[in-house]
Amino acid sequence: MTALLTTNLGDTQLLGRGKVRDLYAVGDALLMVATDRISAFDHVLATGIPGKGKILTQISLFWFDLLAQIVPNHLITAQVCEYPASLQQYAEQLEGRSMLVKCAKMFPVECVARGYLAGSGWKEYKADGTICGIPLPTGLLDGSRLPEPVFTPATKSQDGEHDENISFAATEGLLGAGDAASLKRLTLELYSRARQHAESRGLILADTKFEFGRTDDGIILADEVLTPDSSRFWEGEAWKPGGAQASFDKQYVRDYLESIRWNKQAPAPGLPVEVVARTQAKYLEAFRRLTGKELAL
């Protein structure tokens, strides 16, 4: 199986290519296609992970269904046979890895929920004893469970690459008090439900980020949701605060890149066959553990 790194849908209007997804305009809707590209340290790597786009899309679809009672989402259909006729000739590229979704005015804030100390949250806590200015108890370790989940919104930096944590007051300044409160409530409700499900599958959902938009009908959940690209899933039985945790994300790729002492500047290197295979296996295991199903690539 080869990795799909770039889609080509003929005359369909391409709106942009992100690190992973290609976005097209299709009438009044959008077509999101998850490629097999993989990024690390804000760079897309030269090697893709075969089937990764399908795995991420199927995980998102699972969560959209599970969480629909909390908040509506942007999904119209993920069945290629229900797409407009103009897209049918591209079914091979689209099958399993695409979603036709509603257009929405996106909120300029990434809504992050944290239930455990990790990543940038751990770095801030070590320095200041806080996350996004929220005071936390003393004595916590890297990987510690927080007394209760916290909402730590972020925005894109001026270079458009890095996320920058902001305070809730700053979020209110950007969105208004009403919308800020709604997004905080929804983020924590979604995280709580997802964490409960993950724990029932022997996984820890350490943190995740959601993106929301607004349509004429109100606030909806958009983009991808609760995949290993946007969330930290840890192995429950192996959890031990005080260092790195056994995870189901692309940490294996990051560790490899650190081991070869890449300077994190373009061009990004490729990955050896064994790193690709182990990374693909991690994504597939995440799908199996979360959904209870197998996925044929």
HEC string of 40-69 equals ECCEECCCCCCCHHHHHHHHHHHHHHHHCC
Task: Name the domain boundary from 103, 122, 140.
Answer: 103
Same domain membership, residue 77 and residue 59: yes
Contacts of 184 (CB under 8 A, 6+ apart): 111, 151, 153, 168, 171
* Alpha carbon distance 67, 86 (integer Å): 31
Q: Where residue 112 sits, what CATH number does that domain have? A: 3.30.470.20
First to last CA, the chain: 8
* Predicted confidence (pLDDT) per residue in 165-182, tens digit: 899 999 999 999 999 999
* Alpha carbon distance 42, 187 (integer Å): 25
Backbone angles phi and psi of 66, in degrees to 5? -65, -35
Domain membership of residue 94 (yes or no) is yes
Domain membership of residue 268 (yes or no) is no
Q: How many domains does the chain have?
A: 2
Give me the pLDDT at residue 140, please: 97
Which ranges of 129-167 does DSSP label H, i.e. alpha helix? none
* Predicted confidence (pLDDT) per residue in 77-122, tens digit: 999 999 999 999 999 999 999 999 999 999 999 999 999 999 889 9
Domain that holds residue 86: 1-103
* Alpha carbon distance 127, 71 (integer Å): 36
Same domain membership, residue 164 and residue 79: no
Low-confidence ranges of the chain (pLDDT < 50): none
Give me the pLDDT at residue 1, please: 83
Same domain membership, residue 220 and residue 114: yes
Task: Name the domain boundary from 79, 103, 127.
Answer: 103
Q: Are 36 and 83 spatial neighbours (Cβ–Cβ below 8 Å)?
A: no
In this structure, the chain runs to a length of 297
* Alpha carbon distance 296, 96 (integer Å): 10
Q: Where residue 27 sits, what CATH number does that domain have? A: 3.30.200.20
Contacts of 124 (CB under 8 A, 6+ apart): 130, 131, 132, 165
Task: Name the domain boundary from 46, 76, 103.
Answer: 103
Which CB contacts under 8 angstroms, 24+ apart, belong to 246-249?
248/203, 248/282, 248/283, 248/285, 248/286, 248/289, 249/282
Domain membership of residue 273 (yes or no) is no
> What residue type is assigned to position 228 of the chain?
P
Give me the pLDDT at residue 163, please: 80
Structure tokens at 67: 């969480």
Contacts of 8 (CB under 8 A, 6+ apart): 93
